[in-house]
Amino acid sequence: MRKSVQLTSAILLLAVLLTACRSSSVSESSTSASSLEKTVTVGFSQLGAESDWRSTNTESMQTALSRENGYNLIYKNGQQKQANQVTALRMFIQQDVDYIVLAPETETGWDFVLKEAQEAGIPVIIVDRRVDVEDPSLYTCWVGSDFDLEGRKVAAWIHEYTQSKGIEGQDIHIVHIQGTEGSTAQIGRTRGLTNAVRMYGWDLLAQGDGDFTEVRGREVMASFLRQYDNINVVYCENDNEAIGAIAAIEAAGKKVGPDIANGEIMVVSFDGINADAMQYLKEGKISCIAECNPHHGPRVQALIETLERGETPDKYNYVQETLFSSVQEIKSVTVGDESYEVTIVK
Ligand code: GZL
């Protein structure tokens, strides 16, 4: 008798546990189903892996568009060549993915392949840099930064800092290490500087393409140092270039820092992702960094889920960004009639 009671109890206990598991797995699947009715296949064409910003951006997309979140992500690295990205998009079209996410290397040259995606009925989401196409309906929406504002903020910081030190515009001798030519980040950040040069009468000595990499940043800066002996500001369009430029400056026996009145060379930059650059900021080797937010994954996930619900997302979705500096005196900068707080990094 006892054995049969024990056996019955064990079977009952097992039944209860199985029901509990099934209901929790049902609740888990119903939870994941509440955000997506089905697994969504996304073809993601990333432009490359040229910088810390880019790697962080890729990680953000892979974390958000994960299997656990209901996605099947097909990732292709374009190795900074538009032709590779066009090939990837055509492959995604062949595979009839549900969505294409494109982080474009440069702005132009996308009309034909985006037309093919549109004709295949595949929505395209652009992330980070922009595409310059005849027909904006070729892409559903975009998420990224206001690169013009980033450039204007950094230029305003240089102006307000040098003014506070009584340094005249014509005594500011700038070299400009640009990002990948024709990319939206390069276009916007360059415009921020060139407008300020005109407005404040700065002396722009030279510009060179650093392609957003540390190696090119060092090469371009070394070349500038061989040509000019009066450089006192270096405007780098990302942190990897700034790290390379600082290596070249220090190798030439010069000192980086904001104190240009006493012979230091001021370095300013963009991104705020690279740990070494943020350490340089704390040490004053980099004077100011405009944050460029790479965490687009959750935003793309939200855009896709909006579309999956049959709703229409905003066409252009900007991420919020700050300005970093370790120079205590400048607490905010004015751009147009807006004031932007500076995040002081100690
Ligand atoms: C900006 C992005 C730029 C970063 C660089 O959104 O396109 O490309 O500033 C990256 O670091 O290489």
Please answer whether residues 145 and 179 qualify as being in contact, where contact means their C-beta atoms are separated by less than 8 angstroms. Answer: no
Sheet with strand 332-335: strands edge to edge: 203-209, 173-178, 233-236, 266-271, 288-291, 323-325, 338-344, 332-335
Domain 147-292+324-344: CATH class, spelled out: alpha beta
Q: pTM score, two decimals?
A: 0.88
Structure tokens at 266: 């001021």
Q: Which atom belonging to ligand 1 lies closest to the Cα atom of 145?
A: 6
Question: Which residue, by CA, sits nearest to atom 1 of ligand 1?
Answer: 185
With H, G, I as helix, E, B as strand and everything else as coil, classify residue 209: strand
Q: What is the pLDDT of residue 53?
A: 97
Q: What is the pLDDT of residue 25?
A: 31
Question: Which residue, by CA, sits nearest to atom 3 of ligand 1?
Answer: 185
Domain 10-144+294-319 grouped into CATH 3.40.50.2300: yes
53 Cα: distance to centroid of ligand 1 (angstroms): 6
- Stretch(es) of the chain classified as CATH 3.40.50.2300: 10-144+294-319, 147-292+324-344
Query: Is residue 19 very low, low, confident or very high in pLDDT (cuts 50, 70, 90)?
Result: very low
Q: Which atom belonging to ligand 1 lies closest to the Cα atom of 103?
A: 7
Q: Which atom belonging to ligand 1 lies closest to the Cα atom of 239?
A: 11
Q: Which atom belonging to ligand 1 lies closest to the Cα atom of 237?
A: 9
Q: What is the pLDDT of residue 11?
A: 52
Instruction: Report the pocket of ligand 1 as residue ranges, CB < 6 Å.
Output: 50-51, 53-54, 128-129, 145, 183, 185, 212, 238, 270-271, 292
Q: Which residues contact 109 (CB under 8 A, 6 or more apart)?
A: 82, 86
Q: What is the pLDDT of residue 37?
A: 81
Residue to substitute in 212, 239, 299 for testing ligand 1 pocket (most ligand atoms within 8 angstroms of CB): 212
Q: Tell me the pLDDT tens digit for each residue of 181-209.
A: 999 999 999 999 999 999 999 999 999 99
72 Cα: distance to centroid of ligand 1 (angstroms): 26
DSSP state letter for 265: B
Structure tokens at 77: 């690295």
Question: Which residue, by CA, sits nearest to atom 2 of ligand 1?
Answer: 185
Among the ranges given (21-35, 49-63, 141-155), the one the predictor scored with the smallest mean pLDDT: 21-35
Q: Tell me the pLDDT tens digit for each residue of 271-314.
A: 999 999 999 999 999 999 999 999 999 999 999 999 999 999 99
39 Cα: distance to centroid of ligand 1 (angstroms): 30
Q: Which atom belonging to ligand 1 lies closest to the Cα atom of 48?
A: 12
Q: What average pLDDT does the segment 6-29 reach?
A: 42
Q: Tell me the pLDDT tens digit for each residue of 115-154.
A: 999 999 999 999 999 999 999 999 999 999 999 999 999 9
311 Cα: distance to centroid of ligand 1 (angstroms): 30
Q: What is the pLDDT of residue 35?
A: 66
Residue to substitute in 46, 50, 54 for testing ligand 1 pocket (most ligand atoms within 8 angstroms of CB): 54
265 Cα: distance to centroid of ligand 1 (angstroms): 24
- What's the 3-state SS for 96-128? CCCEEEECCCCCCCCHHHHHHHHHCCCCEEEEC
The closest of 224, 225, 220 to 244, measured between CA atoms, is: 220
DSSP state letter for 131: -
Tell me: pLDDT of 8 over 70.
Answer: no
Q: Which atom belonging to ligand 1 lies closest to the Cα atom of 129?
A: 7
